[in-house]
Structures are given as structure tokens and as C-alpha cells.
């Protein structure tokens, strides 16, 4: 009986010790999360307030009377989406971003599988070239690409944007997917070969389903980069209303309505909604996909 009591006391002491040891770390993490979330909360609250309230008081004053209906409005979003063209820009961003994520992932998955599990002449040299392209700044390619686009009438088109983002994103995609696919157990690939499966069948039936975590990780990276991109959009699409994206439209609003904070905050939050949804939907794959291929053995 006394032995059981001592064991219980020791377990309780260890549990309490773990909690006390982890408490400072938890406090630091909560503090960092609060600091990072605070600007987003302020932006959301400001976008839901009338213009007179924004001009007369700070966003934190809403907590004095949080349930007062008169201090909340959706008119800012209605104005941005209808009058200021953010709705069309939102659709244009989806048209640009979705293919710019799907195309490089598809090409990189085939390339990574070939580099990892197939033998062909020049394999090592080609992989070195792909990895080396990761360190080339995209700014160096903008002017040559723009001249090429003008020559082939691709400037100002969505196809040009898809090709540009595919080219800029492929080296990182191939590198990430190669690290993961090459770490898959060789027994799985060999058993598929013994059973008579072709390389394409092995890739589609085995490798792709097992590579969902790393594909989701790169999809987050690529989606956030393309959606938040302003430089490439301005160079290859310009500011024409029919093809402008949300970042370019928001930049234009800053110049046109620099003092209309109720419009700018609503427009800024609209640009954040889709990336937040994508990140939280795929974040369970994020760390697993990035770290799975880091150590092989």
C-alpha cells in the first residue's frame, strides 16, 4: 500500500514539475502569438467600423461597448467590392494563383520522382542546375522576360503570369519534393517494380499519395507568395482594371484614397482572407512535409 502511495506521489511531483518547467515557454509562445495577432485583429475591427468612428477614436475603444450595433457596419466591404473594383481584382487573383500553384507542383512532382528513383544521363548535373537556380534573384529575370513577353504578346495576360510564377517556383518545388520522395522506403518502390508496375503507375499509385504532406507544404508557400506578389504582377500585368490583382488594386487604393482608412482596412483584410483559409486548412501537413526529408536513414 505504501509503495503504491509513493509511486502516485512521485508521478504527481513529476507532472507538476513538467508543468512548472514548461510554463515560461508557454507564456513566451502565447505572448508572441498575441503580438502577431494584434495587428490583424485591429485591421478586422477597423474594417467593420463606420468612417466617423475610425476618424474619431482608436479601434480598441469598441471593447467598451462591444455589442452596440451602431458601431459595426459592412458598408466598407460593400464599397470596396463594388465601387472600388476589389471584387474583380479578387477573382483575377484566384485566376492567377490557382494555376500558378497547380502547374509547378505537377511538373516538380514528376521531376522529383525522376531525380529520386530513376536513372538517366546527366541526372546529377541537371539536379545541380535546378538547385543552383534557387539562389538566382527573380529581379534579374524580370527585364529579359518582359522583353520576351512583349515579343510573343504574352505581356498583360494570365498565361504570362502562370509561366512566370511556374518558372520562379519550380526550383524550390523540385528541391522540397525530391527531399521527401527520396526518403520514401526503397522497399515500396522495389516491390512495385517486381509486381510489374510501370514508373508512371508507381508514381501515381504510390508516390503521390505518400507525398501529400510535402505537396501541401509547398502549396502553402507558393499560394502565399503568388497571392501576395506585387512586383511580378505590376511588371507582367500592369494596372489595367480588367487584369489587375488584389495587391496591385490595394496599392492603387492607397494612392487614390490615402485618407479613407475605412476603405483601405476593408480592402487589406479581403487580401488576407484567402491566404488565412489556405494556411489553416493545410497547416497540419506543414511541419511534417518540411521535415520529413531532412534526415534520411
157-198: pLDDT as tens digits = 999 999 999 999 999 999 989 988 988 888 888 888 888 888
Between residues 133 and 8, the one the model is more confident about: 133
For the chain, the distance separating the N- and C-terminal CA atoms, rounded to the nearest angstrom, is: 47
68-80: pLDDT as tens digits = 777 788 888 888 8
Q: What is the pLDDT of residue 97?
A: 94
21-48: pLDDT as tens digits = 667 778 888 888 888 888 888 888 888 8
Do 166 and 211 contact (CB within 8 A), yes or no?
A: no
Neighbours of 33 (CB within 10 A): 10
Q: What is the pLDDT of residue 266?
A: 84
Reported pTM:
0.80
Q: What value does the mean pLDDT of the chain take? A: 82
pLDDT of residue 262 exceeding 80: no
What residue ranges define each of the domains in the chain, with the CATH number in brackets?
2-73 (no CATH), 76-291 (1.10.3720.10)
Nearest to 77 by CA among 280, 240, 244, 268: 268
Between residues 272 and 293, the one the model is more confident about: 272
Q: Per 3-state DSSP, what percentage of the chain is helix, strand, and coil (rounded to 5)?
A: 80, 0, 20
The CA distance from 131 to 120, in Å, is 18
Amino acid at each position: 500500500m505504501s509503495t503504491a502511495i509513493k509511486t502516485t506521489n512521485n508521478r504527481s511531483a513529476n507532472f507538476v514539475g513538467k508543468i512548472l518547467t514548461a510554463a515560461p515557454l508557454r507564456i513566451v509562445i502565447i505572448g508572441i502569438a498575441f503580438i502577431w495577432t494584434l495587428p490583424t485583429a485591429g485591421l478586422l475591427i477597423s474594417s467593420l467600423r463606420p468612417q466617423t468612428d475610425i476618424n474619431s477614436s482608436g479601434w480598441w475603444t469598441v471593447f467598451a461597448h462591444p455589442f452596440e450595433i451602431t458601431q459595426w457596419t459592412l458598408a466598407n466591404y460593400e464599397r470596396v467590392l463594388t465601387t472600388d473594383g476589389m471584387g474583380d481584382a479578387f477573382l483575377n487573383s484566384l485566376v492567377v494563383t490557382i494555376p500558378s500553384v497547380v502547374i509547378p507542383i505537377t511538373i516538380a512532382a514528376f521531376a522529383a520522382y525522376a531525380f529520386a528513383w530513376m536513372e538517366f544521363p546527366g541526372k546529377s548535373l541537371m539536379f545541380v542546375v535546378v538547385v543552383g537556380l534557387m539562389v538566382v534573384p527573380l529581379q534579374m529575370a524580370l527585364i529579359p522576360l518582359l522583353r520576351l513577353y512583349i515579343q510573343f504578346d504574352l505581356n498583360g495576360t494570365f498565361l504570362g503570369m502562370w509561366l512566370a510564377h511556374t518558372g520562379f517556383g519550380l526550383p524550390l518545388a523540385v528541391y522540397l519534393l525530391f527531399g521527401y520522395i527520396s526518403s520514401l522506403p526503397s522497399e515500396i518502390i522495389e516491390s512495385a517494380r517486381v509486381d510489374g508496375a510501370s514508373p508512371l503507375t508507381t508514381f501515381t499509385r504510390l508516390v503521390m499519395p505518400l507525398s501529400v504532406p510535402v505537396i501541401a507544404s509547398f502549396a502553402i508557400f507558393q499560394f502565399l507568395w503568388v497571392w501576395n506578389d506585387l512586383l511580378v504582377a505590376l511588371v507582367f500585368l500592369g494596372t489595367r482594371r480588367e487584369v489587375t490583382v488584389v495587391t496591385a488594386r490595394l496599392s492603387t487604393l492607397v494612392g487614390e484614397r490615402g485618407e479613407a482608412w475605412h476603405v483601405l482596412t476593408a480592402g487589406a483584410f479581403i487580401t488576407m482572407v484567402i491566404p488565412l483559409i489556405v494556411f489553416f486548412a493545410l497547416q497540419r501537413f506543414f511541419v511534417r512535409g518540411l521535415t520529413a526529408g531532412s534526415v534520411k536513414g
